[in-house]
Amino acid sequence: MGLFSKKDVCPVCGRKIKGEVHVKIRDNVSVCQNCSAMINMDAAMIPNQTVEDIKEHLKYREKNLEKFIRFESTQEAKAGTTILYVDEPAKLWYCTRNKKEKNPPIFMYGELSGVQYLEDGQPIENEEKTGLLGSLFSDKAESKAIHSMKLRIELSNPYVKTVDIEMIAPNNEVKTGTITYKSNRRALEKVREILSGIQANQQGNGLYGANTSVTDEPAEDADGSAADE
């Protein structure tokens, strides 16, 4: 019948896949480059998605784009290469490592389920009780090399379960007590403070919740796409 076997055609959009980079979903099904560029979910989830799941996800991504277009940042904070943006009236927020990202996943306040500060993978206790200022500025504090300092943000979103804001590049280290350590720490604490404010203010689903309209225009591009996984 057709010129191509079923394997050569993207099951999501019907476009021919010509030996291009593509993404494999459940049952070893290949999704074309265009479609996979629009996917934005935790990489570990992708191999479990069915064709229907992906179609639903791409509709979700179109709604996300609508939210992004209407997003008006009223509060922001930068930690390392990551920027947190908050739209307080709409009760929406997102993090990105690229200011020009065209369709970053947007989250409702209610989707934020936890924030933890980790050093070398170990949670550091809330220091409000022990005195954050004391620990940050004491010269007596013992100095040790650490290889990871990050905020782990946990979400109840269907596609993004965690967002990590890591301050130390791979194979680098930072000594506790140094200026670099302290400025990294302050930047993360600022982000954590804003996220704590979001958690304290979670009622409601945001102005632009489930009822936004969907355009027919596909997203041109999506940074952090699955294609380069």
Task: Check residue 9 for interaction with Zn ion (CB under 5 A).
Answer: no
Residues binding Zn ion: number (CB under 5 A): 6
Q: Taking the complex as a whole, how short is the minimal distance between the CB of residue 17 and Zn ion, in angstroms?
A: 8
Residues in 58-117 that interact with Zn ion by CB under 5 A:
none
Q: Nearest approach, Cβ of 34 to Zn ion (angstroms)? A: 5
Residues within window 160-219 making contact with Zn ion, judged by CB under 5 A = none
Q: CB of 66: closest distance to Zn ion in angstroms?
A: 21
**What are the angstrom distances between the C-alpha of 74 and each of 17, 31, 71, 123, 188?**
43, 37, 9, 30, 19
35 contacts Zn ion (rule: CB under 5 A): yes
Cβ atoms 198, 77 nearer than 8 A: no
10 binds Zn ion (CB under 5 A): yes
**Burial (CB count within 10 angstroms: exposed 0-12, middle 13-18, buried 19+), residue 188:** buried
User: Number of C-alpha atoms within 13 angstroms, CB side, residue 82?
Assistant: 22
- Out of 23, 32, 153, 167, the residue judged to bind Zn ion by CB under 5 A: 32
Candidate ranges 5-13, 111-119, 162-170, 209-217; the one touching Zn ion (CB under 5 A): 5-13
Cα 52 from Cα 45, distance rounded (Å):
14
Sole binder of Zn ion in the list 9, 13, 51, 118 (CB under 5 A)? 13
Residue 224: CB minimum distance to Zn ion, A: 18
HSE of 90, CA atoms in CB hemisphere, 13 A:
23
Q: Is 226 in the site for Zn ion (CB under 5 A)?
A: no
Does 51 engage in binding with Zn ion (CB under 5 A)? no
3-state secondary structure of 136: helix
How many other C-beta atoms lie within 10 A of the C-beta of residue 165?
24
Residue number with CB closer to Zn ion (7 or 78): 7
Report how far residue 107's alpha carbon sits from residue 64's, in angstroms, rounded to the nearest whole number: 9
Tell me which residues touch Zn ion (CB under 5 A).
10, 12-13, 15, 32, 35
